[in-house]
Amino acid sequence: MAGIYIHIPFCKQACYYCDFHFSTNQERKTDMVRAIARELVLQQPYLAGQTITSVYFGGGTPSLLDEEELRLLLDTIYEQYTVSSDPEITLEANPDDLSLDKLQLLQQLGFNRLSIGIQSFYEPHLRYLNRAHSTEEAKRCVQQAKEVGFNNLSIDLIYAIPHPDHSVWQADLATAISLNPQHISAYCLTIEEKTVFGRWLRHQKIPPIDETFAANQFEQLVSGLASAGYEQYEVSNFCQPSWESKHNSNYWKDVLYLGVGPSAHSFNGNSRQYNVANNSKYLNALAESQVPYEWEELTQADRINEYLMTRLRTKWGCDLAWLKQELNYDLAVVQADYIEGLIRNGKAMLENRQLVLTSAGKLLADGIAADFFVDSE
Ligand code: SF4
């Protein structure tokens, strides 16, 4: 079992908060797609013997690709890899790209899941973030996606956008629930240094993120979605029963995956590869049939820390027996007092050697994982 991630490094415009790898110059879009198809061929041995259960087109904005470009990538995957009979094939999409014709095309091509970058339904917040779509486009595309037959939709939201009160966030949540998607991902606004917001923060043009405001909105998110029947299966990811994203779950369950395209990462259980995050360098290398990546072998400490970091954020939690058996790390003994304190304070539960954080604990998941980290030798 394995997954494929395809990074499409182009966007119409730069959202002010975004530090993903992308370019707004789309002149070489088709060249890039051909290069990524070439990488899919060259990297085929990376997943030799594996069956692909999830294919994820992310970015950037993969919904910018036209029929021929999407078809080339999908055909290459089916030609080069063994794909399961019911793979999850996701396209990340922005509402302004999802016309009725485009939605029908995506269905015909075999995409069976859309992850739609809505972020907010409130027009002033869309403008604040520099999103390219409107409130109306966001609502329309979800409705039309359902009409053309998509029954596995995810929408992305952002909370903690500065506002005098919580009314906009509560309205955003209510609108998201009323659209009834199978999956909702909600992320706290963060201000990264190399973004427009990062620059504006340095020049005091925007306020920093208010941690208390963000924590309140996170609580509203968790309780609001729970009341609407969504399960929080990871800190930022919620789904209706049995609609977890295979792609996301693969990352958290140590499943192998190949990432292709500039800046994409790959993981084979023991090492990680990081493709160059530069479109020109990527294109030049692929023109020579070379994949430009850096490689890192994971130490025992890396593997333990990654496991703790990812699994503590999920509803599955950490399997302490697995940690001991596979990674020779007895967390239950090494951190006995700390674990007992978490349980006493209602932050964690321990059942059948599974350490799972409660909702209150999930709010602190990254900090708790960091407290558990082991040092590299
Ligand atoms: S948030 Fe998405 S659409 Fe906006 S710049 Fe980043 S990758 Fe592009």
Task: Assign domain 300-372 to its CATH architecture.
Answer: Orthogonal Bundle (1.10)
- Residues 108-126: pLDDT tens digits? 999 999 999 999 999 999 9
CATH 1.50.10.10 matches 2-251? no
| Residue 270 scores a pLDDT above 90 | no
The DSSP code for 374 is P
Amino acid identity of 326? E
The CA distance from 295 to 274, in Å, is 6
Residues of the chain with CATH 3.20.20.70: 2-251
Most informative mutation of 7, 29, 61 for ligand 1 (most atoms within 8 A of CB): 61
- Residues in contact with ligand 1 by the CB-under-6-Å rule are 11, 14-15, 18, 20, 22, 59-61, 94, 117
Instruction: Report how far ligand 1's centroid is from the alpha carbon of 15 (Å).
Output: 6
The CA distance from 296 to 262, in Å, is 17
Helix axes 67-80, 100-109, angle to 10 degrees: 20
- Residues 124-172: pLDDT tens digits? 999 999 999 999 999 999 999 999 999 999 999 999 999 999 999 999 9
Residues of the chain with CATH 1.10.10.920: 300-372
- Residues 161-196: pLDDT tens digits? 999 999 999 999 999 999 999 999 999 999 999 999
E-strand stretches of 211-251? 231-234, 237-239
- Residues 43-102: pLDDT tens digits? 999 999 999 999 999 999 999 999 999 999 999 999 999 999 999 999 999 999 999 999
For 368, residues 6+ apart whose C-beta sits below 8 A from its C-beta are 312, 342, 347, 348, 357, 361
- Residues 304-330: pLDDT tens digits? 999 999 999 999 999 999 999 999 999
Instruction: Phi first, then psi: give them for residue 311, nearest 5 degrees.
Output: -70, -30
Instruction: Report how far ligand 1's centroid is from the alpha carbon of 372 (Å).
Output: 33
The CA distance from 252 to 307, in Å, is 8
Most informative mutation of 5, 8, 10, 15 for ligand 1 (most atoms within 8 A of CB): 15
Ligand 1: nearest atom to the Cα of 60? 7
